[in-house]
Chain A
Amino acid sequence: MIGKPVLLAELHGLFQWLHEKLQATGLSQTWVDIITYATLGVIIFGVLSLIALYLIWWERKISAHVQQRFGPMRHGWHGWYQTVMDALKLLQKEDIRIVTRDKVVFFWAPVICFVAAFLAYVVMPFGDRLIVADLNIGILYIMAVTTFTIISLLMAGWGSNNKYALLGGMRSAAQVVSYEVPMVASILTIIIFVGSLSMMDIVKAQSGLIFNWYVFRIPFGPIAFLTYIVAATAECNRTPFDIPEAEQELVSGYNVEYSGMKFAMFFLAEFVNMFTVSAIAVTLFFGGWNGWDFIPSWIWFLGKTLIIVLLLMLFRWTYPRLRVDQLMEFAWKFLVPVTFANLIVAGIFKYFGWYW
């Protein structure tokens, strides 16, 4: 089921070399594969951690400029390594473990959150030859693994033995489960037209320039994109849907008892999740790595994703927060009907072959 890794041409040679060297040592094929994939995993992990760090810096700069401030300015040009220093500070901080915690749950919650955030990148098509494994159930896999985050938030809320944290955890569980439905429905709208769940196939179905991308190619595209981006914002627990960590109500929600590196894991995971939902939006609606050939495909992918991230950030610094019941009403009474209507109409169009 798992395909061979497809890699950027330059990296390909390196892996060929690694593969040959490993085979020469006389290891079995399974071990060679495992080591190769592990190396890939480390690279992806490193790159994404770097991206997450820079998204944090970016968020701080964007919020600062929206609010007519400068934001970080001390470390390097416009504070470019500020978040690196912050991460170093968090590493040194004392890991406060409250006595009344549930030991196992409290420890594993940030770990699961962190790991779940990175799992989606196994099938993410970064470029035309840059993907770890092109699973034939790619998008389904992503939907499955990103949902792990809810479990970790619930665990954090429960394990902290704190009322605010518990309220935050319960809120996030209710919210993420509700918004999963419209999110999947809007993704399915595109899947109907592609006819495959593989991420690479989805991108290849949109090869060409802007009018081949689903957001502009089919009338259901823009609707699906809008509903997707709303649901995705809720999925990342970001304003206006940030009720799980509503600072003014729940202090900081599920992570109120976490400090030091455990808190940093939640924090980094949040930004990785934001990058994930933006990357999925780009893959499904904006042609993934498609663009003019003279610009490398991974730059297209990264650029488009960062634009969607910018959109999410601007939401956060402009909107107030919804109330918990209004949030549920919005999901079930507005988003779900709209996405399902969109999906059904799209299905009818596809069935009769009326699509563009």
Chain B
Amino acid sequence: MMAELRTEEFIVNMGPHHPATHGVCRLMLTMNGEKIVKIEPVIGYLHRAIEKICENRTYAQCIPILDRFEYVTSMSCNYVFSLAAERLAEIEVPERAEYLRVIMLELNRIASHLLFYGVTAMDIGAYTPFLYGLRERELIIDLFEMTCGQRLTYNYIRVGGVSKDIPKQFVPQCRKAIKIIGEKLTDYTGLLNENPIWLERTKGIAVLPADLAIAYGVSGPVLRASGVQYDIRRNDPYCIYDRFDFEIPVRPNGDCFDRYMLRIDEIRQSIRILSQALDGLPEGEIRHKKVKDATFKPPAGEAYARIENSRGEMGIYLVSDGSKKPLRVKTRGGSYNQLQVLPQYGTDMLIADLVANFATLDVIMPEVDR
């Protein structure tokens, strides 16, 4: 009887509209029953030609476009472009602006990781943490709204500084928010880490080996969860990160659980940086005096800036011909490499593991498709 039964592989299109692909990612899965034989990511559904659009905009006009490059951490996009432009024009940024930038970048990193926490838990089937994660994220979004009036795409960090000074109540409210988040982190880990189902679903699942991660240019939390200590804030310091006392969390196993816990560790470190930055926030200018949005014209040349975003290395390569508009803007996002490495190690597991794996890679499609 068994000899007569014939099985065949079949193709399942996961996405572009699928609850677990976080946007319009399409994964073509070749399946053998519930087991995945082959993964083919199909990208481009969210391509908006950001790089090309930027070539026809002045430097100041590029920033709101690049807000959409990675909309979960818009501050980082603002910052990395400003950093590249400042390197081109060799501008020194005022002290207060540097502190404000660090505060915003770290707040945005926490917001992004809180979203990650919620979404990952939801992908593994626990709905409630999603709401908890968003609840605390709201505290940070309120701070951003108070500062620049926007909740998602901020257009706040500009070439030569920041666009507006923070309101008076920002510092006390920020201290309160990071205190609440620090306390709630214990709840978060308590809710999931002591649940045997969660541990079974994440521990030892979808191990990304360090050498494969390095070979595919994976960076950020995913790389550090595979045991590689590499953080641009430490290895190639930018802004004023070398002034703060913080650790780079590393976890050895490279499985889903480590990738999730590493982000929780990172939130703790971000809170450390934030409290130091809030303590040391000086008075003074918030923007370089000579930089005006309408007339900013860097000399001809090229510059590359890279920062540690919540999804790995985010970089912008900027070429200028001395005019008001950049000649070329090349973006680099961590999600792209994380999506490329997925087919290499994500096969030969069940579809439920793929969902957990994909969630903990924290791929966000605008950063892949640009």
Interfacial residues of chain B within 87-142, with CB under 8 A of chain A in the complex: 121-128, 131-132, 135
Asked if A63 and B125 sit within 8 Å, CB to CB, the answer is no
Asked if A321 and B34 sit within 8 Å, CB to CB, the answer is no
Asked if A163 and B197 sit within 8 Å, CB to CB, the answer is no
Selected from B191, B352, B353, the residue in CB contact (under 8 A) with A246 is B352
Selected from B12, B121, B350, B355, the residue in CB contact (under 8 A) with A325 is B350
Tell me which of A66-74, A219-227, A260-268 binds B.
A66-74
Asked if B200 and A319 sit within 8 Å, CB to CB, the answer is no
Interface size on B, residues (CB 8 A): 29
- The answer for the CA separation of A63 and B128 in the assembled complex, in Å, is 8
Asked if B355 and A322 sit within 8 Å, CB to CB, the answer is no
A161 to B: closest C-beta gap in Å: 13
Query: Which residue of A is nearest B11, CB measured?
Result: A163
Asked if A247 and B19 sit within 8 Å, CB to CB, the answer is yes
Query: Which residue of A is nearest B200, CB measured?
Result: A326
B182 to A: closest C-beta gap in Å: 19
Given contacts A243-B352, A322-B201, A325-B350, contact A248 B125 (CB under 8 A): yes
Given contacts A320-B197, A322-B197, contact A246 B126 (CB under 8 A): no
Interfacial residues of chain A within 173-223, with CB under 8 A of chain B in the complex: none
Whether, in the assembled complex, A323 has its beta carbon less than 8 Å from a beta carbon of chain B, the answer is yes
Asked if B126 and A319 sit within 8 Å, CB to CB, the answer is yes
- The answer for the CA separation of A129 and B10 in the assembled complex, in Å, is 56
Asked if A67 and B20 sit within 8 Å, CB to CB, the answer is no
Asked if B201 and A318 sit within 8 Å, CB to CB, the answer is no
Asked if B132 and A318 sit within 8 Å, CB to CB, the answer is no
B331-370 contact mask (Cβ, 8 Å, vs A): 1 or 0:
0000000000000000000111101000000000000000
A313 to B: closest C-beta gap in Å: 12
- Report chain A residues within 8 Å CB of B201: 320-323, 326
Asked if B353 and A69 sit within 8 Å, CB to CB, the answer is no
A178 to B: closest C-beta gap in Å: 15
- The answer for the CA separation of A325 and B191 in the assembled complex, in Å, is 23
Query: Which residue of B is nearest A250, CB measured?
Result: B351
Asked if A163 and B12 sit within 8 Å, CB to CB, the answer is yes
Asked if B18 and A66 sit within 8 Å, CB to CB, the answer is no
Selected from A66, A167, A248, A322, the residue in CB contact (under 8 A) with B128 is A66
- The answer for the CA separation of A256 and B104 in the assembled complex, in Å, is 42
Whether, in the assembled complex, A317 has its beta carbon less than 8 Å from a beta carbon of chain B, the answer is yes
- Report chain A residues within 8 Å CB of B131: 67-69
Selected from A68, A251, A317, the residue in CB contact (under 8 A) with B18 is A251
Given contacts A240-B197, A317-B128, contact A249 B121 (CB under 8 A): no
Asked if A324 and B198 sit within 8 Å, CB to CB, the answer is no
- The answer for the CA separation of A324 and B355 in the assembled complex, in Å, is 13
Asked if B352 and A319 sit within 8 Å, CB to CB, the answer is no
B182-202 contact mask (Cβ, 8 Å, vs A): 1 or 0:
000000000110010110110
- Report chain B residues within 8 Å CB of A242: 125
Given contacts A251-B18, A323-B350, A324-B350, contact A239 B125 (CB under 8 A): yes
Query: Which residue of A is nearest B21, CB measured?
Result: A248
Selected from B19, B132, B192, the residue in CB contact (under 8 A) with A320 is B192
- Report chain A residues within 8 Å CB of B121: 320
- Report chain B residues within 8 Å CB of A240: 125, 197
- Report chain B residues within 8 Å CB of A68: 131-132, 135
- Report chain B residues within 8 Å CB of A228: none
A318-356 contact mask (Cβ, 8 Å, vs B): 1 or 0:
111111111000000000000000000000000000000
- Report chain A residues within 8 Å CB of B20: 248-249
- Report chain B residues within 8 Å CB of A248: 19-20, 122-125, 355
Asked if B350 and A321 sit within 8 Å, CB to CB, the answer is no
Interface size on A, residues (CB 8 A): 29
Selected from B122, B135, B351, the residue in CB contact (under 8 A) with A249 is B351
Interfacial residues of chain A within 231-259, with CB under 8 A of chain B in the complex: 239-240, 242-243, 246-251
**Best-surrounded residue of A66, A239, A322 (most CB of chain B within 10 A):** A322
Asked if B351 and A321 sit within 8 Å, CB to CB, the answer is no
Given contacts A67-B131, A240-B197, contact A320 B124 (CB under 8 A): yes
Asked if A322 and B200 sit within 8 Å, CB to CB, the answer is yes
Asked if B125 and A318 sit within 8 Å, CB to CB, the answer is no
- The answer for the CA separation of A320 and B122 in the assembled complex, in Å, is 8
Given contacts A239-B125, A320-B121, contact A163 B132 (CB under 8 A): no
Asked if B352 and A324 sit within 8 Å, CB to CB, the answer is yes
- Report chain B residues within 8 Å CB of A249: 20, 351-352, 355
Asked if A317 and B127 sit within 8 Å, CB to CB, the answer is yes
B9-25 contact mask (Cβ, 8 Å, vs A): 1 or 0:
01010000011100000
Whether, in the assembled complex, A289 has its beta carbon less than 8 Å from a beta carbon of chain B, the answer is no
- Report chain A residues within 8 Å CB of B19: 247-248, 251
A322 to B: closest C-beta gap in Å: 6
- Report chain B residues within 8 Å CB of A323: 200-201, 350, 352-353
- Report chain B residues within 8 Å CB of A317: 127-128
Asked if B200 and A67 sit within 8 Å, CB to CB, the answer is no
B238 to A: closest C-beta gap in Å: 36
- The answer for the CA separation of A324 and B34 in the assembled complex, in Å, is 9
- The answer for the CA separation of A249 and B353 in the assembled complex, in Å, is 9
A interface with B by C-beta (< 8 Å): 63, 66-69, 163-164, 167, 171, 239-240, 242-243, 246-251, 317-326
**18 additional contacts (CB under 8 A) given A69-B131, A320-B126, A324-B34:** A68-B131, A163-B12, A240-B197, A242-B125, A243-B352, A248-B19, A249-B351, A317-B128, A318-B126, A318-B128, A319-B195, A320-B192, A320-B201, A321-B124, A321-B125, A323-B200, A323-B201, A326-B200
Could you give 27 example pairs across A and B, Cβ below 8 Å? Answer: A63-B128, A68-B131, A69-B131, A167-B34, A239-B125, A239-B126, A240-B125, A243-B352, A246-B352, A247-B19, A248-B123, A249-B351, A249-B355, A251-B18, A317-B127, A318-B191, A319-B195, A320-B126, A320-B201, A321-B124, A321-B126, A321-B197, A322-B125, A323-B200, A323-B201, A323-B353, A324-B350
A-B pairs, top 7 by smallest CB distance, nearest first, are A321-B125, A67-B131, A248-B20, A320-B126, A320-B125, A323-B352, A320-B124
